[in-house]
Amino acid sequence: MAGKTPTPHIGAQLGEIADKVIMAGDPLRAKFMAENFLENPVQYNSVRGMLGYTGTYKGKRVSVQGHGMGIPSIGIYTYELFNFYNVETIIRCGSAGAYDPSLNLGDVVFGMGSCTDSNYARQFDLPGTFAPIADFDLLRRAAAKAEELGIGYKAGNILASDVFYGDNPEEWKKWQKMGVLAVEMEATALYMNAARAGKKALCICTISDSLVHGTACSAEERQTSFTNMMKIAFDII
């Protein structure tokens, strides 16, 4: 949409962001990806501390961008990227808490679909329940790349929850019984915004903690050590 950039949240001019964007909730993870994967990265955003960079990866022009925590925050950034900056593809690289007992710290999960306890879909005034799903081509290529790199993964339903500290500490088991693999806080908005805009999206998560086993990674590990999902994302974007 002409005349919409810069936005209140992204300081870039139209053309400064690539049509392929890899996102992370933590802006310092976005900075880590820019510094470790992109050639000649140029910072295009620092508004609200949500860092964004554009560079090249194996000859492809790619941007990386922070999106913050939760559905409202990623909803804003992905809406603006899809609709105001002509972005065609977004891959989220995030952390997730395991519901599946076979998942351990550091394992990779592809979100085929995103369940949610959010009311985000209400804005679309649909006559039923929408099922937010990943782009199949991105998912297929992500699985193939993981196998090529020897990276183990699971693909299936994940939960995008609005609540981090829930009042009922056992409520996650209700999602577990339906085969939901893990919980994060953003994929539903990413997938819905992509669907509404006719664009492509995929959420790749690394397990940072397990509600089943009671284990957890440190904050530093969450920021810099989840590189397997990043390798997959950059190779397929």
Domain harbouring 99, CATH code: 3.40.50.1580
Query: 82: domain range?
Result: 20-236
| Nearest Cα residue to 65 out of 97, 99, 38 | 38
> What is the pLDDT at residue 159?
98
Tell me the percentage of the chain whose pLDDT exceeds 70: 99
pLDDT of 223 higher than 80? no
Tell me the percentage of the chain whose pLDDT exceeds 90: 95
In a domain, 9, yes or no: no
| Nearest Cα residue to 192 out of 129, 136, 133, 116 | 133
pLDDT of 225 higher than 80? no
> What is the pLDDT at residue 224?
75
> What is the pLDDT at residue 51?
98
| Nearest Cα residue to 223 out of 32, 11, 20 | 32
In a domain, 2, yes or no: no
In a domain, 156, yes or no: yes
Give the chain's domain count.
1
Cα of 186 vs its chain's centroid, Å: 7
Mean pLDDT over all residues of the chain?
96
What integer is the mean pLDDT of 62-85? 98
In a domain, 7, yes or no: no
> What is the pLDDT at residue 221?
82
Which one of the listed residues 100, 107, 135, 209 is annotated catalytic? 209
In a domain, 185, yes or no: yes
What integer is the mean pLDDT of 20-41? 97
Helix (H) or strand (E) holding 176: helix 172-176
Taking only the tens place, the pLDDT of each residue in 103-162 is: 999 999 999 999 999 999 999 999 999 999 999 999 999 999 999 999 999 999 999 999
Cα distances from 13 to residues 68, 107, 152, in angstroms, run: 21, 37, 39
Catalytic residue flag (residue 209): yes
In a domain, 12, yes or no: no
